[in-house]
Amino acid sequence: MSGNTPMIEQYLKIKKEYADCILFFRLGDFYEMFFEDAETASRELDIVLTARDGGKSKVPMCGVPYHAYANYVGKLLDKGYRVAICEQVEDPREAKGIVAREVIRVITPGTALDDAWLTEDNNYLAAIVVNGDKAGLAYVDVLTGEFKACQLTGLRALSQLRDELARLRPAECLIPRWSSQELSDIVGDDLPGTLLTEVKPELFLQSNAWEKLNWYLGSRPELCRELEIKEELASAAGALIGFIEETQRMMMNHLCGLSIYQSSDYLGLDRASRQNLELISNLRDGKREGSLLGQLDYTCTAMGCRRIRVWLEQPLIDITAIENRLEAVAEFLGNRLLRQELKKQLKNVR
């Protein structure tokens, strides 16, 4: 006999499966945390640490109201933690003994799905894989549904990969477990605010990636043909879908169709150039005030801010694309009534 209460035994069994997460354990109207999770959450969230009878001894405990959990989870995500949400999966009134509980999803910095976490910045989850002189990059914003990927080839593949990651600044980046140190360093050295997550290599396997992508893409044969040629891109994109399915326990049907782009479609800017040009943030304190974005952003919605930010960070170089964008701008500039009506309609849109 362990000497623990049945509830603590249940907690420990579930926690063992999610050792790398802070476990939010549903008890009535609260999510409770115990042992080291309680001590960590108490410190990081500035909430009271108490104790509960665990059977053979008192165990550290803290909790948050279930209806306000998103705010607390958001703070933990900002600090680089993963959170497993464990719910009661049967009616306590009908339970014979301990109420059945199970983890319904794992929330990581790159898989935050609650509207409370929607901001003017994209929250990207990225996946990268390198094979010789080829690199595959895929990224998704699970809240907005944006899903894009590119393949980089040649002697500058790694350098271009660094530049793309510097542009995206993903909240989380997936790499295959046991990847080379060089691949880990690309994230660790250049992106201190990005959580590096090593996942099982099977997620990146070509066969697994194809299974996920074929189901997701459906009847898009032209895209499937392109993916057959760009194997590293396909591996990264498939790994993203697999990871989201595993952590969220559901299909991401709201994701926009996968969009494949070429880094050569836009003006290439390395990390140093982006910083020195102060496109998004100033050099003084890293804030947007005084940056080009700060001067140009008169958008009234978060999605508008995200769009103008992408435009600034990916300058067009194709003449036709540039002219099309300018024509669209001119249309709105010359129609004041249309602008006013659109602003009115978009006023309450996030």
Q: Which of 266, 296, 267, 268 is nearest to 280 (CA)?
A: 296
Q: How far apart are CA 319 and CA 167, in angstroms?
A: 23
pLDDT at position 82: 93
Instruction: Answer whether residue 39 shows pLDDT above 90.
Output: yes
Q: What is the pLDDT of residues 151-172, one digit of tens each?
A: 999 888 888 999 999 899 999 9
Residue 196 covered by a domain? yes
- What residues have CB less than 8 Å from 124, skipping those under 6 apart? 110, 139, 140, 141, 168, 169, 170, 171, 172
Q: What is the pLDDT of residues 186-216, one digit of tens each?
A: 887 778 888 999 999 999 988 888 888 877 7
What are the backbone angles phi and psi of residue 26, rounded to the nearest 5°?
-70, 125
- CATH code where residue 86 lies: 3.40.1170.10
- CATH code where residue 320 lies: 1.10.1420.10
Domain boundary (107, 139, 156) is at 107
> In this structure, what DSSP letter does residue 31 have?
E
**Do 183 and 248 fall within a single domain?**
yes
> Which token pair is 90?
């049967």
Count of beta carbons in the 10 Å neighbourhood of residue 248: 17
Residue 45 covered by a domain? yes
Q: How far apart are CA 151 and CA 130, in angstroms?
A: 10
pLDDT at position 118: 62
Q: How far apart are CA 172 and CA 18, in angstroms?
A: 18
Helices 69-78 and 35-45, axial angle in degrees (round to 10): 90
Q: How far apart are CA 175 and CA 301, in angstroms?
A: 33
Q: What is the pLDDT of residues 227-244, one digit of tens each?
A: 777 889 999 999 999 999
> Which token pair is 254?
């709201």
**Do 18 and 141 fall within a single domain?**
no
- CATH code where residue 155 lies: 3.30.420.110
**Do 324 and 296 fall within a single domain?**
yes
**Do 221 and 256 fall within a single domain?**
yes
> In this structure, what DSSP letter does residue 66 have?
G
- State CA 72 to chain mean position distance: 17
**Do 96 and 123 fall within a single domain?**
no
Instruction: Answer whether residue 342 shows pLDDT above 70.
Output: yes
Which residue type does 114 have?
Answer: D
- Count of domains forming the chain: 3
Alpha helices in the chain (DSSP H): 6-17, 35-45, 69-78, 157-168, 181-190, 206-217, 221-229, 231-248, 271-277, 292-296, 302-313, 319-333, 336-346
- What residues have CB less than 8 Å from 41, skipping those under 6 apart? 22, 33, 47, 62, 72, 76
Residue 99 covered by a domain? yes
Cβ-contact 164, 274 below 8 angstroms: no
Instruction: Answer whether residue 23 shows pLDDT above 90.
Output: yes
Q: Which of 303, 309, 321 is nearest to 281 (CA)?
A: 309
Q: Which of 128, 116, 270 is nearest to 194 (CA)?
A: 128
**Do 132 and 91 fall within a single domain?**
no
**Do 132 and 45 fall within a single domain?**
no
Domain boundary (216, 242, 265) is at 265
Least confident piece of the model among 85-94, 307-316, 329-338: 85-94
**Do 63 and 90 fall within a single domain?**
yes
List 52's β-bridge partners, or say none.
Answer: 59
**Do 199 and 326 fall within a single domain?**
no
N-terminal to C-terminal alpha carbon distance within the chain: 54
Alpha helices in 18-113 (DSSP H): 35-45, 69-78
Cβ-contact 245, 132 below 8 angstroms: no
Cβ-contact 175, 283 below 8 angstroms: no
Cβ-contact 349, 304 below 8 angstroms: no
Domain boundary (107, 135, 168) is at 107
Residue 274 covered by a domain? no
pLDDT at position 221: 62
State if pTM tops 0.75: yes
Q: How far apart are CA 219 and CA 223, in angstroms?
A: 9
**Do 143 and 202 fall within a single domain?**
yes
What is the extent of the structural domain holding 45?
6-107
Residue 272 covered by a domain? no
